[in-house]
Amino acid sequence: MSERQAKPPLTLLLASPRGFCAGVDRAIQIVELTLEKFGPPVYVRHEIVHNRYVVEELERKGAVFVEELDEVPAGARVIFSAHGVPKSVPADAQSRDLFYLDATCPLVSKVHVEAERLHARGLEILLIGHAGHPEVIGTMGQLPEGAVKLIETDADAERLEPQDPEKLAFVTQTTLSVDDTSEIVATLRRRFPAIAGPHKEDICYATTNRQEAVKSIAPRADAMLVIGAPNSSNSMRLVEVAERAGCAYAALVQRASDIDWTALGDPASVGLTAGASAPDVLVDEVIDAFRERFDVTVEEVPVRRESVQFKLPRALAV
C-alpha cells in the first residue's frame, strides 16, 4: 500500500473570503513603504495588526514596535496601528516633533467621525464593543473623557440608565459578532425608540463576510480551525460563530504547530478560515500540515467576492 493510500481521506472546506482585509493590507503597506522611503528604524505604536507573524516580518525589515510614544526618540518616524488611537496620541506626537503616519483603517476612522457628529448634536454616545480593545480605546478617545459609555453585552443594554432617553446614540466596534451586536442594538431600540445610530452599519464588510463564510461551512464540518491571534477580536468572533452555527469543535490556532491533533480526532471534513489580520502563508502552512497526515481534498467555499481597496496616505502615494 502506498503512503498516500495509507492516509485517511479528508476534505478541507476553505472559507472564501478569509485572511487579510483592505484595512490590514493598507496598514502593512504603510509600514513597508515608510521603511523603503526613509529607511529603518521606523517606530510603530502597538502591533500594526494583531498577528505575531506579520509583526515579526516587519521587525525583520526594520520596524520597531513600542507601546507608547515616550519610547520613540524625538524627531523619529512613527506609525499608528490600524486599530486607531485617541486624539491625545497625534497631539503628543506633534508636541515631540515626531513625523507620524496614521494607519488607522478608514472604516474605523468612519466610526470616529460618526461619534463626533452624534456628540456634536448633543447626544449621549454609547459604544458597543469590548473593554480594553485598542479600537475601543481609540474611539472613546475621540471625545472628552466620560462622553462615551461602553456597552459590552445585552445585559448592559438592559440595565442602561441614560441621562436622557430622547438624546441617545450608538456606534459600534468594527470587529464584533454580527449576531451579538444585532441583539444588543435590538434591545437598545426597544428600550429607547428615539436612539440614533450610524448612517451605515459600523461592523466592517470584512468582519461580516468572514462570519458569513464560516456560517456556510460550519454545519458541513466536523471541526473548524480559525487562523488568527488570541488578541484579534475578529478572529475570536469567528470561533464563536462556528460553534453557534453547529460545528462540534472549533479552535483558534496561530500557526500549524498549535493544532491539537488529539482534540481534532478523526474528522472527515474540516473547515478552515483566517481572521482579517492573518496572511495567506499561514493558511498554506496549515494545509501542508493536514497533508502530512491526511489524503486531503481542498474545496473552496466562496460566499462573497471582495474588491475593496483603500488609498495610502499622501506622503506615501506612488
> What amino acid positions are annotated as catalytic residues?
135
Task: Pull the grid cell for residue 55.
Answer: 509583526
Non-local (6+) Cβ contacts of 14 within 8 A are 272, 273, 283, 287, 298, 299, 300, 301
Would you say how long the chain is, in residues? 318
Q: Is 98 left (phi over 0), alpha (psi -120 to 50) or beta?
A: beta
- The separation between the first and the last C-alpha atoms of the chain, rounded to the nearest angstrom, is 57
What is the number of alpha carbons within 13 Å of residue 137 lying toward its C-beta? 11
Measured CA distances, 49 to 202, 233, 248, 278, 279 (Å): 19, 11, 30, 9, 11
96 C-beta neighbours (distance < 10 Å), count: 16
